[in-house]
Amino acid sequence: MSFELERNGKSYFVIDNGHISSASAKAAGIINPITGKNFVLSWRFEEFLPIALETYAALEKFLGIQIVIDMPIIRSIDSIDQENLWLAKSSDSFFGKYLDGNGYDADWLSAFRKKLGYIPIKNSFRVDIKSLLYHWKTHLIENGRFLEEEFDYSLIEIKNGKVDYKEFTFDKVVFCEGAQAIDNPFFDSTSFSLNRGDVFTLKIQNIAMNRMYKDELFFVPFGDNTYWVGGGYLPKGKDEHEHKKEMENLIKEILIIDFEHLHHEYAWRPSTKNRRPLLRQSDTFAQLYQFNGLGTKGTSLAPYFSKVMSDVLFSESSSLELH
Ligand SMILES: Cc1cc2nc3c(=O)[nH]c(=O)nc-3n(C[C@H](O)[C@H](O)[C@H](O)COP(=O)(O)OP(=O)(O)OC[C@H]3O[C@@H](n4cnc5c(N)ncnc54)[C@H](O)[C@@H]3O)c2cc1C
């Protein structure tokens, strides 16, 4: 969001408490075109992907870093029904462009439990979100645009059509607190349906995986023999230690060679009940906005909806209609 303002020459300032609760800091940054049990094209994927790739390329240029990796996915199939469904879909010319012609003949697959079949997916990407956050924050600090602290909602005062906060005066404030938005007193939190994602970082020697692999969990190569393993969510009411143990056992079922477990983390995804982004203006104070609800797909949705938000902030005629 702040890069969108930067490249449009707008004045802005970011307050963040150092990613304490950040989902972005835990995300693998996967952009996955084909999702769900029925292999459907991800919601509005063909609209979002070009804008995501353009924005990340612009960020790479601006920051002098490389963050986007074109990385196919191999997805395992569990049943004959799924296999038949995929065969029908893959002969369709529309889905054909997401079928990786290189197939799934990869040596490293033998490190994983055998499945009924595999689907090779292309036009999928991994964005190095950790590196992006680090370099973008460094840029903000160097340019005096960043304050690392907890935002105190009680200190907001609306005066003369502007927002006073501590020593600052802003024309508008956009809240982008991810899952922490449920504590924001200016916006109703009933639209949210947060869900927790757990991540395990593993060290796996000598498998040289060059694609992402999806069984019941996603395995994503992060370089230097380290792998991000995650997916799924903590079901409501389930004990978190039991959930962690079950995930650890599942990893051992899926990955049938030795590995080292480096660490475990989790964060809450800012999902909404209707599984759509949540961009809105406060009913009470026209200067306050919310940019949220990126759910499980922040990497592909954020660039597109940052443009929508930026248009709304700077053009009287734009509306926050999302569908
Ligand atoms: C384990 C896991 C894996 C995921 N993997 C993927 C993936 O591969 N691909 C994908 O597209 N999406 C993925 N997601 C979803 C993705 O992470 C989210 O959609 C996205 O990160 C949401 O971004 P955000 O900026 O809205 O929220 P966040 O990343 O949570 O950022 C909010 C920021 O606001 C700060 N903040 C909150 N409240 C305050 C306050 N009061 N004062 C100051 N600062 C505050 C937080 O500390 C944080 O830095 C994953 C999520 C999880 C949890």
Q: Residue 1 sits in a domain of what CATH number?
A: 3.50.50.60
Q: Residues lining ligand 1, judged by CB closer than 6 Å?
A: 15-17, 19-24, 26-30, 150-151, 176-180, 197, 199, 230, 267, 269-270, 292, 294-300
**84 Cα–ligand 1 center, Å:** 36
Query: Within this chain, do residues 4 and 152 fall inside the same structural domain, yes or no?
Result: yes
Query: Within this chain, do residues 108 and 137 fall inside the same structural domain, yes or no?
Result: no
Rounded distance, CA 182 to CA 106, Å? 44
Tokens of 20: 């304490």
Instruction: Give the per-residue pLDDT at 232.
Output: 87
Instruction: Give the per-residue pLDDT at 103.
Output: 81
Domain extent, residue 228, equals: 72-123+195-269
Query: Within this chain, do residues 230 and 128 fall inside the same structural domain, yes or no?
Result: no
Single residue among 236, 252, 269 that ends a domain in this structure: 269
- Number of structural domains, the chain? 2
Choose the residue to mutate in 140, 155, 269, 297 for probing ligand 1, maximizing ligand atoms within 8 Å of C-beta.
269
Query: Within this chain, do residues 242 and 211 fall inside the same structural domain, yes or no?
Result: yes
The continuous run of DSSP H or E covering 228 comes out as strand 226-230
Query: Within this chain, do residues 50 and 147 fall inside the same structural domain, yes or no?
Result: yes
Rounded distance, CA 70 to CA 202, Å? 22
Tokens of 264: 């475990």
Q: Are 277 and 178 in contact (CB under 8 A)?
A: no
Helices (H) and strands (E) in the chain — how many of each? 7, 20
Single residue among 269, 290, 306 that ends a domain in this structure: 269
Query: Within this chain, do residues 293 and 253 fall inside the same structural domain, yes or no?
Result: no
Query: Within this chain, do residues 186 and 235 fall inside the same structural domain, yes or no?
Result: no
Buried b / exposed e along 273-288 (16+ C-beta atoms within 10 A): eeebbbbbbbeeeebb
**27 Cα–ligand 1 center, Å:** 8
Query: Within this chain, do residues 61 and 89 fall inside the same structural domain, yes or no?
Result: no
Rounded to two decimals, the pTM is 0.95
Digit-by-digit pLDDT tens for the chain (323 residues) are 999 999 999 999 999 998 887 999 999 999 999 998 888 999 999 999 999 999 999 999 999 999 999 999 999 998 999 989 888 888 888 888 898 888 888 899 999 999 999 999 999 999 999 999 999 999 999 999 999 999 999 999 999 999 999 999 999 999 999 999 999 999 999 999 999 999 999 999 989 899 999 999 999 999 999 999 999 899 888 999 999 999 999 999 999 999 999 999 999 999 999 999 999 999 999 999 999 999 999 999 999 999 999 999 998 655 665 43
Query: Within this chain, do residues 41 and 135 fall inside the same structural domain, yes or no?
Result: yes
Tokens of 217: 């969990």
Instruction: Give the per-residue pLDDT at 318.
Output: 57
Query: Within this chain, do residues 323 and 187 fall inside the same structural domain, yes or no?
Result: yes
Q: Mind listing the pLDDT tens digit for each residue in 42-77?
A: 999 999 999 999 999 999 999 999 999 999 999 999
Single residue among 269, 292, 311 that ends a domain in this structure: 269
Query: Within this chain, do residues 108 and 62 fall inside the same structural domain, yes or no?
Result: no
Rounded distance, CA 295 to CA 52, Å? 16
